[in-house]
């Protein structure tokens, strides 16, 4: 019989602790009045700022045709489109052309 008051005190403290913790854990639940739960914002960059505009691989256009004022010829290796080029076997003083696709 002497232990009964101690058990009642311990049970009361446990009930008070649960009552104090339950509102804190209720923050995960649905909000009253239909408010949405707060969301965490994820950062795209380490120092903030907008995400990069292009996320995919960059495709560089290349071509295998060289167009000079005199003629059009095929190149052995693909080069950047718009880069200056010259046809194989052309004279050294011939004007340069541009690479086309």
- Residue 94 near residue 86 (C-beta atoms within 8 A): yes
Overall pTM surpassing 0.85 (yes/no): no
Up-side HSE of residue 77: CA atoms within 13 Å toward CB? Answer: 4
| pLDDT score of 41 | 56
The side-by-side arrangement of strands in the sheet containing 97-100 is 72-80, 62-67, 97-100, 84-85
Tens digit of each residue's pLDDT, the chain (101 residues) = 678 888 888 988 888 877 776 665 555 556 566 666 566 555 555 666 666 676 777 788 999 999 988 889 998 899 999 999 888 777 777 888 899 98
| pLDDT score of 35 | 65
| pLDDT score of 36 | 62
- Residue 67 near residue 57 (C-beta atoms within 8 A): no
Rg, the chain, Cα only = 38
| pLDDT score of 81 | 93
């Amino acid at each position: 019989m002497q232990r009964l008051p101690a058990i009642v005190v311990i049970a009361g403290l446990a009930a008070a602790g649960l009552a104090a913790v339950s509102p804190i854990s209720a923050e995960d639940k649905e909000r009253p009045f239909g408010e949405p739960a707060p969301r965490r914002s994820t950062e795209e960059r380490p120092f903030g700022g907008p995400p990069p505009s292009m996320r995919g691989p960059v495709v560089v256009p290349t071509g295998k045709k060289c167009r000079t004022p005199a003629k059009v010829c095929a190149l052995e290796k693909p080069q950047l489109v718009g880069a200056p080029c010259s046809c194989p076997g052309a004279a050294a003083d011939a004007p340069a052309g541009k690479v086309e696709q």
